[in-house]
Structure 1
Amino acid sequence: MIPLFHRLRAFADSLTGQLVVILSTGIASASFVSLFLAERAHQHDFSRVELELVVTSTSDIATRFARDPEQTARLVADDHILGATQAKTEWRMNAPDPELGRLLTARLGEAARPQAMPIPQQQCFPNFDPNLRAAGITDSSLPDCWFIRFRDAHGIERNLTIYVGRLHWPSRSPLDPLYMTLIILASVVLSIMVARVTSLPLRRLTRAARAFSVTADPEPIQVGGPREVRVALETFNLMQQRVREGFRQRTQILAAVTHDLQTPLTRLRLRLEQVPDEALRQRLIDDLGAMQHLVSDGLELARSNDSREPVSLVDIDSLLSSLAEDAADVGHDVRFSKGCDVRAMVKPEAFTRCLNNLIDNAVKYAGSAELQSGVEGEELVIRVLDEGPGIPHDLIGEAFQPYRRLGNGSGKPPGTGIGLTIADAQARTFGAKVCLRNRPHGGLCAEIRMALPD
């Protein structure tokens, strides 16, 4: 359940997830608003049909009055015309319907001065007995009634009751919960498709940036998509090319300087051998050796960020076991105590150099090292453990700075102070990172963390 929650949280935090939420909400809302407006339009049309029936009935009666007013008046008074009868004398036109009045005026003319008002069914059919009603007839089935007043063609005012069968508004399937659920699902699916297509150039850019971080010669990203995306991809390719050239030039300059220094340093050593004072000669030779080591480590640090080694699949436990055996062969107390049986995509030489630097650091400060590998969540973790003095918590962040040697209270430790820097740089060439933390019961834990292979 927790991994699923983390996946959903990561999806919601991504550009694709946010686009899905925005698009699905917008599409579903627009669909519901459209259905609501269509429903209101249908209701209005349905009511208009009923009014048209009233207008048609009124027009027919007005035509009869114009042709034979006496006979028509007698038929209306005797209720012999279905759908029309004489209005009750006590009714008053106190709340006319303006829309129906306009429709009647358009049909009968301005001279008729028609007015219309809906009448409650109880007033229109006062003698209806629900206990003696016909089969299937209820008060809800009674016709709708309107009080109509107009002047006929002879100028006589006529007051009529027009009633038409009630039109029942049918249930609408667009507002059905199942139909609404289908709209939401369709909106989500469409939003996912649009979001994936929209974020595809960004995912390509992300993959290219990740590839650039772990290799010196990545392939240029293919330029395509909308104009803004093409500009961003072209800019990234240009940046990638310039950074790569900068790394190469820096490495070449350092290599040239190191090579040029070898001759004068060798000549200087030969001359130091001729110093008659033995103690002074040895101190000078030691200083010269430290200088040569510093130059060599500086070149190594520059080359550590410019690894062109290809990535390959490596058995982590086998490599850790081999490194422990090699260290033991030269007299170091290094052991491999725990494995995880995982293969990972790394640069073997860079991975080995990273581990060797961490092992050397542990042996230098604690005299021994313990190697372990394991899986935590979606990460592969390789640990180099020691039982040394550790590092003060507030100085752990400075441990990876080049030429920063952290003492343990007894002076400066041996070395140039770039072992951890090189280890971290080598790890980054294959997408890993090095972390340091003090162990609860003393000692230091150096971890190499990388994503598990798919």
Structure 2
Amino acid sequence: MKRLRLFLSSMAGRLFVILLLGMSVAAMGATLVATAKRQQDLDRQILVRLADRLQGYVNLLDNNPELRERLLQAGGPNVRLAPEEVRVGTADAALTAVLAQRSGPVSSAQVHAANFRACVPRLPDIVPRTDEQMQRRRMRQRDPAFAPPGCRLVELRLGDGTPLRLVMETPAVARDSAQAFDPLFLSLLGLAIAVLAYVVARMASAPLQRLASAAAQLGQDLQRDPLPVSGPLEVRRAAEAFNAMQKRLQRHLGERTQMLAAITHDLQTPVTRLRLRLENVADEALRERLIADLAAMQALIREGLELARSSESAEKPAPLDLDSLLESIVEDAAESGAEVEFEQGCGEVLLLRPLAMHRLFSNLVDNAVQYGHSARVSAQSHGGTVVVRIRDRGPGLAPDELEAVFDPFLRLETSRSRETGGAGLGLTIARALAEKDGARLWLENHPEGGLVAVVEWSQPPRAGGNRG
């Protein structure tokens, strides 16, 4: 049910419903109109056949005066002499108009509806009807798909002026107007319309889905391939506008990175001169503080450049054994004297950027060691999701600080020491690296104390195997 609601809330779902309803109403309307037209043609054919029979019989009477009495007694095909008492109904304008177009005496005939008993002898006088037969007849008369036989009174004058009153029986007709509401017919029609509406809706929404997917990938990789310019005019225009926007973003980011690189390069010489001159400061305490501030300035410039480069990196993904990468990072940290342990592996081989992932997890492990005095690294794979957790033994963070620490240049550690406070860009760079490889990075407090950095791939780009 949830998937159905999600589908109906999408562009494809709404187009599907609109097309399904619109095409169903149009198809049913066209079917009813076609059925009515077919029935009208059938009624017209019946009238023409009745007129042919009547004209043939009347011409026979008109051309053979000596046989007229015998012919009237014998009657014609569904035509006979009218009895003296006939209950006359409304005028039959349709048959009268058809007869008016004929030649001979029938052209002046007047036709009225008559009681059916006037056309045939009363059946009870010949064969008595049972109650069951009467019930079947009443049900057949109420059936909308069955038109019962009728009777018409025709009044005309023969060529010699003799008035003539005839009754003409109209045969029963099985009408097919009810077929438009046949359950099997409606089911097949609805199925065909539903399939067609679904295909058309998917085709119409496919360009929007491609554009949405390209926009999501653009947030992870600004250097992705341009969107193909194909399809209808509106789709091509949207793709061209999207590609133009991507080029502008690439140019803007490139200019920013070049600017930071130029600043970093141009500052190296004066910073080096400042450091040499600071060595000549006589006051040792002042000299140490000035040198520390200068080192912090250099680190800030370097990390700012790394942040810019993290969004512009052109490194290509390659099969990466995630457990081997984490183990090597843990071993490097342990060799430097840190309390670091690799607790669990996931056995996954993913398509990731090796250097970027090394920077990401090294940064998180360094943060855990620096602020939590230890790091416990584990990786898990379950339900198609790969999760890496790095836990420390520190005091943790307040709930409102778990997201704020990812803001650039925000340092919750209030000291100005480079060894304790940092530049405030480490987690910002780490999140940028993670998002570019399709992962999410967040922090959470562990129930038993300490902070946990979580990197999760909900749809990991697997390389087709694992360490097994």
Three-state SS of the structure 1 residue aligned to 2:406 is coil
TM-score, normalised relative to structure 1: 0.84
Picking from 8, 19, 28, the partner of 1:32 is 28
Among 257, 261, 272, the alignment partner of 1:266 is 272
The residue aligned with 1:453 is: 461
Whether 2:37 is the aligned partner of 1:41: answer yes
* AA matched with 2:58: A
Task: Please tell me whether residue 248 in structure 1 is matched to residue 248 in structure 2.
Answer: no
Look up the match of 1:183. Answer: 189
Note the C-alpha offset of 1:229: 1.9
Tell whether the 8 Å contact from 1:258 to 1:296 is kept in structure 2 after alignment.
yes
Q: Return the offset for 1:424.
A: 1.0
Could you tell me which amino acid in structure 2 is paired with residue 397 of structure 1? E
Pairwise mapping of residues 303-382 of structure 1 onto structure 2 (< 5 A)? Answer: 303-375=309-381, 377-382=383-388
Aligned mate of 2:155, from 110, 127, 150:
150
Seen in structure 2, the aligned counterparts of structure 1 residues 341 and 102 have a Cα distance that, compared at 3 Å, is farther
User: Contact 2:352–2:461 (CA<8 Å) still a contact in 1?
Assistant: no
User: What amino acid does structure 2 have at the position aligned with 1:418?
Assistant: L
Match of 2:92 among 79, 97, 100: 97
Consecutive unaligned residues in structure 2, runs of 5 or more = 141-145, 463-468
Q: CA contact under 8 A between 2:82 and 2:118: conserved in structure 1?
A: no
- The answer to whether the Cα contact below 8 Å between 1:105 and 1:114 also exists between their aligned partners in 2 is no
1:431 pairs, out of 429, 438, 451, with: 438
Q: Tell me the C-alpha RMSD between the 2 structures.
A: 3.5
Q: Secondary structure at the match of 1:305?
A: helix
Could you tell which deviates more after superposition, 93-102 or 302-311? Answer: 93-102
Residue by residue, what CA displacement relative to the aligned partner does 1:73-93 show, whole Å, maximum 9, x if unpaired? Answer: 5533x3433311233433333
Cα distance in 2 for partners of 1:304, 1:434 equals: 15
SS in 1 for 2:453: strand
Where in structure 1 are there 5+ consecutive unaligned residues? none
Determine if contact 1:311/1:348 at 8 Å carries over to the other structure.
yes
| Pair 59,427 (structure 1): closer, same or farther in 2 beyond 3 Å | same
Q: SS of the counterpart of 2:312?
A: coil
One-letter code of the match for 1:84? Answer: V
CA distance in 2, matches of 1:397, 1:130: 97
Identify the match of residue 108 of structure 2 among 109, 112, 122.
Answer: 112
Alpha-carbon separation, structure 2, partners of 1:22 and 1:336: 56
Q: Secondary structure at the match of 1:95?
A: strand
Q: For 1:400, which of 395, 406, 410 is the aligned residue?
A: 406
Check 1:226–1:150 CA distance in 2 against 1; reply closer, same or farther (3 A cut): same
Of 120, 126, 130, 2:122 maps to 126
State the 1:251 CA deviation.
Answer: 0.5
1:235 and 2:231 aligned: no
Q: Distance in 2 between matches of 1:316 and 1:212?
A: 25
Residues 65 and 152, structure 1, Cα contact 8 Å, conserved in 2: no
State the alpha-carbon separation in 2 of the partners of residues 316 and 309 from structure 1.
Answer: 17
**Compared CA separation, residues 143 and 229, structure 1 to 2 (3 A):** closer
Runs of 4 or more off by more than 6 Å in structure 1? Answer: 108-111, 171-174
Q: Tell me which of 50, 55, 60 is aligned to 1:54.
A: 50
Shift of 1:252: 0.8
> 1:86, 1:160 within 8 Å by CA — same for their partners in 2?
yes
CA distance in 2, matches of 1:131, 1:111: 40
The residue number in structure 1 matching 2:293 is: 287
Deviations 1:271-327 (Å, cap 9, x if unpaired)?
122221222222222222222211111111111111110012222233223323332
- Aligned equivalent of 1:300, options 306, 311, 319: 306
Change (3 A) 1:214 1:393: same
In 1, are the aligned partners of 2:346 and 2:380 still within 8 Å (CA)? yes
Once the two structures are superposed, residues 241-289 of structure 1 have per-residue CA deviations (whole angstroms, 9 ceiling, x without a partner) of 1111111111111011011111111211221222212222222222222
Letter in 1 for 2:337: G
Displacement of 1:426 in angstroms is: 0.9
Q: Distance in 1 between matches of 2:222 and 2:433?
A: 12
Count of residues in correspondence between the two structures? 445
Amino acid at match of 1:151: L
Deviation at 1:125, TM superposition (A): 4.8
